[in-house]
């Protein structure tokens, strides 16, 4: 995982973190260091990464994932670096932080539409002002209550379960917001591409929660096929029956009851 980190002297740098599973099954994140880059071109970033791997005795053939800060002003260069790494190792799939991806998908939507941008700016101002004082909060609540009563009596608002209650928001009109939703979905599709979405869906089938309730043999076989360097054709043929035995063992062994998450399963 790499992020841009410019220092106070304005030198471009890459902060590099390695995530791996150790011999005890623990997921470890290890900060390798901050590498100065002479330029932010794709080739320069790749050369710096090659040098780092060489110094630490690491091999690109063992790499099984890569992630970069998509919000960085070096986004295009990191996209180029991602492509070069994939050319060298087809199993080093790019998966960006999903929480961050959601933020990045929503930001362009707000910035490209004045009404949406104004809405979030006003909300931020209201939260900042009201959140500083309980008196402000009470005043806003009283003002809103008076406004709701007035509009209800004028017939401008409807009352009932889930409508215009203090803690509820009325559903946005489909006709007014439909175009915004479409563009938001497009942004999400651009961030959550088919491969990394499929990887996470398949990997989730190993989750041990609730006695492996989401276990799906076919999706796990598909997951193995996405890593041809790790599973030969012969191993894939054997995997079908091995997974049947695996889930029987998981259900019958008390050691695997009550686990929470794949991290617990690895340990």
| 115/160 same-domain check | yes
Together in a domain, 10 and 91: yes
Looking at the 3D structure of the chain, how many domains does it have?
3
H-type alpha helices, the chain: 42-55, 75-88, 98-112, 114-130, 134-153, 174-191, 194-203, 209-212, 217-225, 233-252, 261-266
Residue 162 pLDDT more than 60?
no
Read off the pLDDT of residues 5-52 as tens digits, 9 standing for 90 and up: 776 666 778 889 999 999 988 989 999 988 888 887 889 889 999 999
Predicted confidence (pLDDT) per residue in 226-249, tens digit: 999 999 999 999 999 999 999 999
Distance of CA 219 to the CA centre of its chain: 20
Mean of the per-residue pLDDT values for the chain? 81
Q: How many CA atoms lie within 13 A of 237 on its CB side?
A: 3
- Choosing from 44, 62, 96, the residue where a domain stops is 96
pLDDT tens track for 165-214: 554 444 444 445 555 667 666 666 666 677 888 888 999 999 999 999 99
| CA 130 remoteness from chain centre | 31
Domain that holds residue 20: 2-96
Decide which of 145, 166, 191 is a domain's last residue. Answer: 191
Residues 137 and 210 grouped into a single domain: no
End-to-end alpha carbon distance in the chain: 23
* Three-state SS at 209: helix
- Whether 13 and 34 share a structural domain: yes
Nearest-angstrom CA–CA distance, 166 and 109: 28
Q: Who contacts 199 (Cβ-Cβ below 8 Å, separation ≥6)?
A: 93, 95, 223, 226
**Domain's final residue, options 171, 191, 211:** 191
């Amino acid at each position: 995982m790499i992020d841009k980190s410019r220092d106070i002297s304005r030198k471009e740098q890459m902060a590099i973190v390695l995530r791996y599973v150790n011999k005890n099954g623990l997921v470890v994140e290890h900060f390798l260091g901050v590498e100065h880059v002479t330029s932010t071109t794709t080739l320069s970033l790749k050369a710096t990464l090659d040098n780092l791997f060489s110094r630490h005795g690491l091999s690109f053939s063992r790499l099984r994932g890569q992630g970069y800060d998509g919000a960085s002003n070096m986004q295009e260069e990191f996209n180029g670096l991602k492509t070069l790494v994939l050319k060298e190792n087809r199993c080093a799939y790019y998966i960006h932080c999903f929480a961050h991806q959601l933020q990045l998908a929503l930001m362009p939507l707000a910035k490209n539409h004045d009404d949406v941008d104004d809405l979030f700016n006003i909300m931020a101002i209201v939260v900042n002002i009201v959140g500083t004082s309980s008196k402000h909060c009470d005043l806003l609540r009283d003002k809103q209550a008076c406004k709701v009563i007035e509009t209800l009596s004028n017939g401008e608002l409807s009352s009932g379960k889930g409508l215009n209650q203090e803690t509820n928001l009325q559903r946005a009109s489909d006709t007014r917001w439909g175009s915004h939703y479409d563009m938001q979905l497009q942004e999400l599709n651009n961030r959550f591409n088919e491969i990394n979405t499929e990887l996470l869906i398949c990997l989730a089938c190993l989750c041990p929660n609730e006695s492996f309730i989401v276990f799906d043999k076919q999706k796990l076989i598909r997951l193995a096929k996405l890593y041809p360097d790790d599973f030969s054709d012969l191993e894939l043929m054997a995997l079908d029956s091995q997974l049947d035995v695996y889930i029987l063992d998981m259900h019958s062994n008390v050691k695997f009851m009550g686990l929470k998450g794949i991290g617990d399963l690895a340990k």
